[in-house]
Amino acid sequence: MSEFSNWDIIYNLLMAARWTVLLSLTAFVLGGLVGLLLLMARTAGGAWAKGLVRCYVELFQGTPLLMQLFIVFFGLPLIGLDISPWMAAMLGLTLFTSAFLTEIWRGCVEAIGKGQWEASTSLGMKFTQQMRYIILPQAMRIAVPPTVGFSVQVVKGTAVASIIGFVELTKAGTMITNATYAPFTVYGFVAVMYFLICYPLSLFARHLEGKFRHVAR
């Protein structure tokens, strides 16, 4: 049997943590882009588009992330797309993130006074111009703190990807536990590493909240 020192455990977990970070970043960026498109459909689209986006959000907020990953992972091969756990995790988490971000940002856009829309319409601006020059610059200021706060949820969500076999921090923890029989130590370290990734984000979100509240009043 191979001997694992605490340093070996930490080293191996750190190597795996890179995948957690990469998956989080990818899901967050892609999810943000999809979320932005959905937000446009939600604010500008007709009744149909609005209803569809609402259903989309409802679907992803009303079902477990694990089921979403399972459906992507087991569903796509059925239509002939052979995908790896990495692709499935990335795709699943992107959709999950986009639904939540759309909902968060919708609230922010709605918080912008109706007068701003009316004033910009009276200046003859088209929807894209209104969004680009009037609404988004204001909505973004309110949106930053909750968006940063949600990034913590994305990082924690990546742990679920371990279940479809993607080797990130949690999966590495399980694999090392199977080799060392030291679950208390290993999962302790795993938890500490997630904490080290998430806590700064939480603090940053809280800091931004305080800052923007000050500006708003």
Partner 1 sequence: MAYAFDFGAIVPHWELLLDGAILTTELTVVGAVVGVGLGIMGAWARASRTPVVSQIVGVYVELIRNTPFLVQLFFIFFGLPALGLKLTEFQAAVLAMIVNLGAYSTEIVRAGIQAVPHGQLEAAQSLAMNRLQIFRYVIILPALQKIWPALSSQIVIVMLGSSVCSQIAAEELTFGANYIQALNFRAFEVYFIVTGIYLVMSILLRMVLKVLGNYLFERRRHV
Could you list the residues that contact partner 1 (CB under 8 A)? Answer: 59, 62-68, 70-71, 74-75, 78-79, 152, 155-160, 162-163, 170, 173-174, 177, 182-184, 187-188, 190-191, 194-195, 198-199, 202
Packing angle, helices 85-110 and 65-75, rounded to 10: 130
> Structure tokens of 197?
């990734």
Buried-state track 142-162, b at ≥16 Cβ within 10 A, e below 16: bbbbbbbbbbbebbebbbbbb
Instruction: Give the span between the Cα atoms of 85 and 87, in whole angstroms.
Output: 6
Residue 112 or 198: which CB sits closer to partner 1?
A: 198
Query: What is the nearest approach in angstroms of partner 1 to the Cβ of residue 122?
Result: 36
Residue 94 or 162: which CB sits closer to partner 1?
A: 162
Query: What is the nearest approach in angstroms of partner 1 to the Cβ of residue 150?
Result: 13
Residue 31 or 157: which CB sits closer to partner 1?
A: 157
Query: What is the nearest approach in angstroms of partner 1 to the Cβ of residue 62?
Result: 4
Residue 64 or 115: which CB sits closer to partner 1?
A: 64
Residue 10 or 159: which CB sits closer to partner 1?
A: 159
Query: What is the nearest approach in angstroms of partner 1 to the Cβ of residue 205?
Result: 11
- Positive or negative torsion for Cα 44, 47, 49, 55: positive
- Calculate the alpha carbon distances from 58 to 14, 48, 99, 102, 154 in Å: 36, 15, 8, 11, 18
Query: What is the nearest approach in angstroms of partner 1 to the Cβ of residue 70?
Result: 4
Instruction: Give the span between the Cα atoms of 217 and 206, in whole angstroms.
Output: 17
